[in-house]
Chains A and B, each alone.
Chain A
Amino acid sequence: MGGDGKKWGVFLLPALATLSFVFIAPICILIVLSFYQMTGPAVVGDEASLSNYVQFFSDPFYLRILWNTFTLGGLVVLFCLIIGYPVSYFLARSNSRWRGFLLFLVVSPLLVSAVVRNIGWFPILSNSGLVNWLLLESSIISKPIPLISNFTGVIIGLVHALLPFMILTLTTVIQRIEPELEDAAASLGAGPVTVFTQVLLPLSIPGAIGGSLLVFTMAIAAFTTPVIMGGNRVLVMATYIGQQFRTVLDYAIGATAAAILLILVGLLTVVASKLGARKVEAM
């Protein structure tokens, strides 16, 4: 096996070279950039310092962006968990003939381009859209609730986009929980709520952590959806970085924000996978 592996390694070299050029090099350049000061549009000086980072973590403007980003990620994860768990449970346990169809529905957001997926929400969520029309017609509200081109819109868009990842992760985890554990708990007197809190939930935690992390990371890194669904009004890390590089042309602070996002995501990944692993080991 070992010898074979080495032989095939030769064929991997071109791919590895390309990947390191495409992925690693830009990240390195980005990190280097974050230590310099902007001297003009798209230009940086030649004196390296940590001042960008100091500025980032002391200026309320940047802290606000960071906070927005984390709130967004957290809310998206929360909604994905709440909506995803029942669906995953059904997918994991049912052998109904609707299962296949539901699975298709679940992964369908992955099959559409982000732009189409987001634009599709406009007729539904805009002030004259379906939801507001229904609410107005039935006199539940007197003037339209803004559901799109704001933070709410971004959450809706991201939950829609990332739900498949949560559901697929949770489904695998729930499938690994023996159905007879639920029966055993029920026979011992546990009603559905207790079965959920005492058996299903604790055993789903490793999967829930994994899925949440995946969704959180993708939510705070997402760019297209916050731009379209937020109507250019929602400032999170990704949209801020985009602005710096594309319109403000302050590469230095843009690179700083990008590096911070990168490090935070990396740290989160490490922490969560440790937590998940410990949980699994205890069983």
Chain B
Amino acid sequence: MTHLVLDKVHKRYGEAVAVREVSLQLTDGEFVTLLGPSGCGKTTCLRMVAGFVKPDAGTITIDGVDITNKPPYERDMGMVFQSYALFPHKTVAANVAFGLKIRRVSTAESDQRTKEALNLVQLEHLADRYPSQLSGGQRQRVALARAVVIRPKVLLLDEPLGALDLKLREELQIEIKRVQSTLGITTLFVTHDQGEALGLSDRIAVMRDGNIIQIDTPTKIYERPNSTYAANFVGRTNLAQVMVRKADPQAGYLVEMVDQPGVTFEVAGDQPQQFLVGERCSLAARPEHFDIGSTDGNTVEAVVTDVNYRGSIWNVELLAKGNWPVSAQVRPGGRVPTKSETVSLGWHPSRSFLLKLSDDEKI
């Protein structure tokens, strides 16, 4: 049972704040991802949990024990680095056994556990090689085995797939998830890749400028982001400025396009925030939620500006009434519109959501 809690953890470098009063709770066996652009403080957060960086304020506890001031080597964390950080002078087996040797585990048990760990990442046949004789993907698997073999309280991964190419990344994602769920290890994962975050996590914490701005399940983050920032960072979002005309807790909202008065849409389902009648806000919808040619639910007239084939889908760019640029998709089997065609663009009211205007959008 590992319960990791970060409570108002704060870190400054000189004048610049790297992490701003971040609070986060991981329950036993949970896989949580810190997702955000470069420089938003993900690594700093992770390194504070690992003990390499000392927070200026706040506390970090594991199962109720305050570890904020413990050195890294007393924390029982398994860490995986983007650069692999394998010991170049030790064989694969010796790398994996390193933590066990320090814990003075008996040779027999150490050998057994090393073998099991290498088995888990399907590398037992490379035990006697040196890291320099392995591919990037293999190296990262060794690093993963080395981190989990000590049965750490928490597994920490800092962009472990960052140095790998796309195909390997996908393979290793599956591998990491499999190892993590097999062992039921509480995991904190750092990435700036939304695909990784959505695919691996139980919950995602979206970070911006040292803050966690939203923390939720991947589906919630994707379907109900609570800000334009989160909506744009995770997946593609079509935004239109609208004015709230009716607000009803049960039925939802009725909104009117600001640039095309008279055109109204319904918005149904849970909204992350409350909106008042007369409030200006953004209407948001994901490309795959539009139905080209549909006359059900919300509809708006739109002109097709571009059509691209993407293998599994067609990407259709349109310009809807009120100068609203929309990107939509057509799945195989659907009717693919032609360029310059005028179509009816429809979507279900529960498939769109409302977002507060960010400060720069208000002007």
Contact = CB atoms under 8 A, between A and B. Distances in A.
Interface stretch (B73-81, B108-116, B304-312): B73-81
A190 B78 CA distance: 12
Interface string A179-194: 0110111111111001
A111 to B, nearest CB: 34
Interface string B62-76: 000000000111111
A97 to B, nearest CB: 12
A180 B99 contact: no
A278 B132 CA distance: 15
Interface string B86-107: 1111000000001100110000
Contact of B89 (A180, A190, A203): A203
B229 interface: no
A199 interface: yes
Contact of A188 (B52, B83, B150): B150
A283 interface: yes
A180 B83 contact: yes
Query: Most chain-B Cβ atoms within 10 A of its Cβ — which of A181, A187, A191, A198?
Result: A187
Interface string B116-154: 000000000000001010000000000100110010000
A283 B91 CA distance: 10
B50 interface: yes
B84 to A, nearest CB: 8
Contact of A183 (B85, B89, B132): B85
Given A183-B50, A282-B89, A190 B81 contact: no
B79 A184 contact: yes
Nearest to B96: A188
Interface string B31-54: 000000000000000000011100
Interface in A144-183: 178, 180-181, 183
A202 interface: yes
A178 B85 contact: yes
B130 A283 contact: yes
A17 B224 CA distance: 81
A179 B73 CA distance: 15
A30 B85 CA distance: 53
A203 to B, nearest CB: 6
B42 to A, nearest CB: 16
A201 B156 CA distance: 27
B85 A181 contact: yes
Contacts of B87: 181, 184-185, 198-199
Contact of B99 (A183, A188, A202, A283): A188
A282 B88 CA distance: 9
Contacts of B78: 187-188
Contacts of B77: 187
Interface in A199-216: 199, 202-203
B52 to A, nearest CB: 6
B81 A180 contact: yes
A191 B89 contact: no
Contact of B79 (A183, A199, A203): A183
A83 to B, nearest CB: 25
A188 B146 contact: yes
Query: Most chain-B Cβ atoms within 10 A of its Cβ — which of A189, A191, A202?
Result: A189
Interface string B141-173: 001001100100000100000000000000000
A180 B51 CA distance: 13
A282 B130 contact: yes
Contacts of B89: 202-203, 282-283
A189 B88 contact: no
B48 to A, nearest CB: 13
Interface in A11-31: none
8 nearest CB pairs, A to B? A188-B99, A184-B85, A187-B79, A180-B85, A186-B72, A189-B102, A283-B88, A186-B73
Given A188-B102, A190-B102, 9 more contacts: A183-B79, A184-B87, A186-B52, A189-B102, A191-B71, A199-B87, A202-B89, A203-B88, A283-B89
